[in-house]
């Protein structure tokens, strides 16, 4: 049986190092370290701290690639161990997902008659977020050998290292220090002068280095030591690391020095044990177990591992970028991906993390207000791409599918994100009943977003309707469209829910409502406008057909048939298509109408769900990693189970098989979240009904044996197991749930079994 907790590669291929930097990334939400391979120069190192952004000479503000502390050169008898030059024997690199440890093992023939065996491991601590460490076990197999270990913090890293035209340096090294033992480098970002202190130290186990030397190499700081090993003797070297920044410390260098001293005193094994315990605790509550398909099981765990690694509940001023803490794709910016795709995972597994992510939106509310003001509106307009302050950071220019310069309009007109955030706030509140968050923070966001929409919507006097024109919906192939169904419907819903919230606060929390109304200068006139827009906004939904027009004029566009797929099963461009004219075709990038239906399935009939799925699915190019998971879930809802399972497999293999072709730039974090949603919302049939009951309508693919998962709802963990015969469900407290059409009263800790009618 394969190890279902291990993701591994068995051959060393240097060209894969870029992609593997993402696949073997380690993070703890505070910091992320790409899966840098110390024994190759063929790398794209990445070291990131959540929330540290800088612009300098870049087109826009971007997540800073900080000094790389992972450099570790090992020399044997004067020969550097180099996987790209040496003869490599028995190579394996693996990610222990159960314990959060990256491992590598190989034998290299440095020269004839001189073979060296190396085993290494690395972890980024989940216990103490400022710590990371490596362990190297090195054995001279053929004769006595002199080993030199050279540990370096490299202060010459840049952003966009993969693209020479966009290289940017975002910091300057301000000082280095010999810590005796260890070394420290302090860097300062160019714009906001954020200080980052990094320290590392190498220590031998049960031996001492013959010599241990400190070297200031200007943009590098080095610690080097040598030791003689007998034939067959294994030398073990620990590398301890610590990092602090002035974002969380008034004296980063002092705290960093103190941290690494404490880490060395605690010891490598003690820290690793605590780190592993926390990972195992996470898996005990958040694992999804699939019997019958080992590939699906391992790949699903891979996605859950990396997604959970991106979150940090100790800092409510940071969120998760579209590429996680795994790379520089999309400049490290935060999109709608976080609330619409990632947040449900955290709401229903780790609600405290979900709250911190939503607090990021509250803490950047002033930036959203500034965006609205600069565009001529009141209220809050959330940025399509957001960094540390909430201001719009979308680049104005990029490259199209023909690699030609193209104007990027998403930052100007893909405005649905403001209501996406409102939707996520209500979903969090429904699941957690966190009144403190909703009435102190969430309500202010919601009301300010409504004020923005009152300006962005336009009243058509001739038709007595409200319209929202010149937008981009979730389908980004079509720009400057009028009355996008997704956008308009979500705006209508936003106003409706805001008015409901206002009534609830008026009756139950009048003092809090009074505070917000006074602060925002809200009047009865504002509420009257909100209701008017909600009642009269144009919704492209016609009685004579179940198919909903994505936006005005969509049905008149040119039809193309998708007839072929690539080696990963992803659609290929139809023959004869001019990629510069996608705007004039019915081809779509990702679900749009279908996306809204997934968010609000109770608003649509079964016939509408099925008709729109069938219509838009055959026109979708899946040029976004967000797409396959959503079609998988909807496929299960409408009975297209064969395609639904195929979409699920594409989703969970997005980065593993690099089916979007850009995994080297970082994790497709929303796709990882989509993998969880597909397993829980799709296979598990999890939803919340109009009476706020947790509902489960599981479906199991024929070649699967069983699935087991859990969700947290209303402060109770609900565990669900099902196979082809039965559903077994338990809850931590008494609560009413619905399994298929049957309403069940669960008693705390007592299993309830429901037989499946075939």
Name the token pair of 538: 């144009």
> How many other C-beta atoms lie within 10 A of the C-beta of residue 279?
21
**How do 694-696 and 735-739 pair as beta strands?**
parallel
Instruction: Please state, in angstroms and rounded to a whole number, the distance separating the CA atoms of residues 736 and 253.
Output: 53
Rg (CA), the chain: 27
Single out the residue of 704, 708, 738, 739 nearest to residue 722, CA to CA: 708
Let me know: does 597 contact 634? Beta carbons within 8 Å.
yes
Name the token pair of 665: 């730039």
Instruction: Please state, in angstroms and rounded to a whole number, the distance separating the CA atoms of residues 131 and 618.
Output: 49
Single out the residue of 103, 106, 82, 117 nearest to residue 232, CA to CA: 117
* SS3 state of residue 582: helix
Q: Residue 320's pLDDT is what?
A: 98
Indicate if the alpha-carbon torsion angle 480, 482, 485, 487 is positive or negative: positive
Mean pLDDT, contiguous 10-residue spans, the chain (758 residues): 86 95 98 97 95 96 98 96 95 98 97 94 98 98 96 96 87 96 97 98 89 90 95 97 98 98 98 98 97 97 98 96 97 97 98 98 98 98 98 93 90 98 98 97 98 98 97 98 98 98 95 96 97 96 90 97 90 93 97 97 95 97 95 96 93 95 95 98 96 96 95 97 97 96 94 88
How many Cα atoms sit within 13 Å of 94 on the Cβ side? 18
Single out the residue of 210, 14, 23 nearest to residue 663, CA to CA: 23
Q: Is 753 a catalytic residue?
A: no
Write out the H or E segment, with its range, that includes residue 743: strand 742-746
Let me know: does 732 contact 748? Beta carbons within 8 Å.
yes
Instruction: Please state, in angstroms and rounded to a whole number, the distance separating the CA atoms of residues 28 and 243.
Output: 13
Residues 6+ apart with CB under 8 A from 92: 8, 9, 10, 103, 104, 105, 106
Which is catalytic among the residues 259, 339, 385, 476? 476
Q: Residue 1's pLDDT is what?
A: 42
Q: Residue 165's pLDDT is what?
A: 82
Residues 6+ apart with CB under 8 A from 294: 1, 2, 4
Q: Residue 2's pLDDT is what?
A: 58
Let me know: does 180 contact 191? Beta carbons within 8 Å.
no
Give the domains, in start order, of the chain with CATH numbers: 6-285 (2.70.98.40), 307-683 (1.50.10.10)
Q: What are phi and psi of 59, to 5 degrees?
A: -60, -40
* SS3 state of residue 515: helix
Write out 635-646 in H/E/C secondary structure: HHHHCCHHHHHH
In this prediction the pTM is 0.96
Name the token pair of 462: 């001739």
Indicate if the alpha-carbon torsion angle 162, 163, 169, 175 is positive or negative: positive
Let me know: does 366 contact 383? Beta carbons within 8 Å.
no
Q: Residue 452's pLDDT is what?
A: 98
Burial (Cβ within 10 Å: 0-12, 13-18, ≥19) of residue 716: middle
The angle that helices 485-508 and 510-520 make with each other, rounded to 10 degrees, is: 130
Single out the residue of 730, 725, 733 nearest to residue 705, CA to CA: 725
Instruction: Please state, in angstroms and rounded to a whole number, the distance separating the CA atoms of residues 425 and 442.
Output: 6
């Amino acid at each position: 049986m394969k190890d279902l907790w291990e993701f591994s590669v068995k051959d060393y291929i240097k060209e894969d190092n870029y992609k593997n930097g993402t696949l073997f990334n380690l993070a703890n939400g505070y910091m992320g370290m790409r899966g840098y391979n110390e024994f190759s120069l063929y790398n794209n190192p990445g070291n990131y701290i959540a929330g540290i952004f800088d612009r300098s000479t870049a087109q826009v503000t971007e997540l800073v690639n900080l000094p790389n502390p992972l450099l570790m050169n090992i020399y044997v008898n004067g020969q550097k161990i180099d996987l790209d030059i040496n003869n490599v024997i028995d190579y394996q690199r693996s990610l222990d997902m159960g314990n959060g440890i990256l491992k590598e093992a190989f034998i290299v023939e440095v020269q004839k008659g001189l073979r060296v065996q190396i085993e290494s491991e690395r972890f980024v601590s989940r216990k103490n977020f400022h710590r990371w460490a490596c362990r190297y076990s090195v054995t001279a197999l053929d004769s006595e050998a002199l080993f030199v270990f050279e540990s370096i913090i490299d202060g010459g890293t840049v952003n966009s290292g993969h693209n020479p035209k966009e290289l940017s340096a975002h910091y300057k090294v301000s000082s280095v220090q010999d810590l005796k033992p260890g070394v420290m480098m302090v860097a300062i970002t160019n714009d906001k002068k954020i200080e980052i202190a990094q320290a590392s130290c190498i220590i031998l186990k049960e031996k001492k280095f013959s010599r241990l030397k400190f070297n200031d190499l200007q943009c590098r700081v080095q610690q080097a030591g040598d030791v003689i090993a007998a034939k067959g003797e294994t030398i073990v070297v620990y590398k301890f690391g610590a990092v602090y920044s002035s974002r969380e410390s008034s004296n980063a260098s002092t705290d960093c020095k103190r941290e690494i001293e404490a880490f060395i005193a605690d010891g490598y094994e003690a820290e690793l044990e605590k780190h592993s315990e926390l990972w195992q605790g996470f898996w005990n509550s958040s694992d999804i177990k699939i019997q019958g398909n080992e590939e699906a099981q391992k790949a699903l765990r891979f996605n859950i591992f990396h997604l959970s690694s991106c979150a940090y509940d100790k800092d409510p001023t940071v969120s998760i970028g579209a590429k996680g803490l795994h790379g520089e794709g999309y400049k490290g910016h935060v999109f709608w991906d976080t609330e619409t795709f990632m947040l449900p995972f955290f709401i229903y597994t780790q609600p405290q993390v979900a709250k911190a992510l939503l607090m990021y939106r509250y803490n950047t509310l002033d930036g959203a207000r500034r965006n609205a003001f600069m565009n001529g509106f009141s209220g809050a307009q959330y940025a399509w791409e957001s960094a540390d302050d909430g201001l719009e950071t979308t680049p104005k220019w990029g490259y199209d599918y023909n690699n030609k310069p193209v104007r990027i309009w998403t930052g100007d007109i893909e405005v649905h994100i403001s209501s996406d955030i409102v939707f996520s706030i209500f979903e969090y509140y429904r699941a957690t009943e966190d009144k403190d968050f909703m009435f102190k923070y969430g309500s202010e966001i919601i009301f300010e977003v409504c004020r923005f929409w009152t300006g962005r919507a336009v009243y058509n006097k001739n038709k007595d309707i409200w319209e929202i024109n010149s937008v981009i919906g979730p389908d980004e192939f079509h720009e400057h469209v009028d009355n996008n169904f997704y956008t308009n419907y979500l705006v209508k819903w936003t106003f409706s829910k805001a008015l409901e919230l206002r009534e609830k606060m008026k009756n139950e929390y009048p003092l809090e409502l009074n505070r917000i109304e006074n602060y925002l200068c809200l009047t009865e006139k504002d509420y009257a406008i909100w209701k008017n827009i909600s009642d009269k906004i144009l919704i492209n939904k016609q009685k004579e057909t179940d198919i909903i027009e994505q936006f005005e004029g969509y049905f008149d566009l040119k039809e193309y048939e998708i007839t072929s797929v690539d080696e990963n099963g992803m659609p290929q461009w139809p023959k004869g298509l001019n990629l510069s004219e996608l705007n004039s075709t019915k081809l779509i990038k990702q679900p749009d109408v279908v996306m809204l239906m997934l968010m609000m399935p109770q608003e649509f009939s079964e016939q509408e769900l099925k008709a729109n799925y069938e219509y838009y699915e055959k026109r979708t190019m899946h040029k976004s990693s967000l797409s396959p998971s959503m079609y998988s879930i909807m496929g299960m809802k409408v009975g297209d189970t064969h395609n639904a399972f195929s979409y699920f497999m594409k989703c969970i293999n997005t980065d593993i098989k690099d089916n979007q072709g850009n995994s080297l730039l970082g994790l497709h974090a929303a796709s990882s979240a989509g993998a969880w949603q597909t397993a829980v919302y799709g296979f598990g049939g999890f939803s919340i009904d109009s009476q706020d009951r947790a509902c489960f309508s599981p479906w199991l693919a024929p070649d699967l044996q069983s699935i087991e998962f859990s969700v947290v709802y209303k402060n109770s963990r609900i565990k669900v197991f099902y196979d082809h015969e039965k559903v077994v469900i338990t809850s931590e407290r008494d609560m009413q749930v619905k399994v298929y059409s049957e309403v069940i009263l669960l008693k705390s800790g007592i299993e309830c079994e429901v037989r499946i009618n075939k």
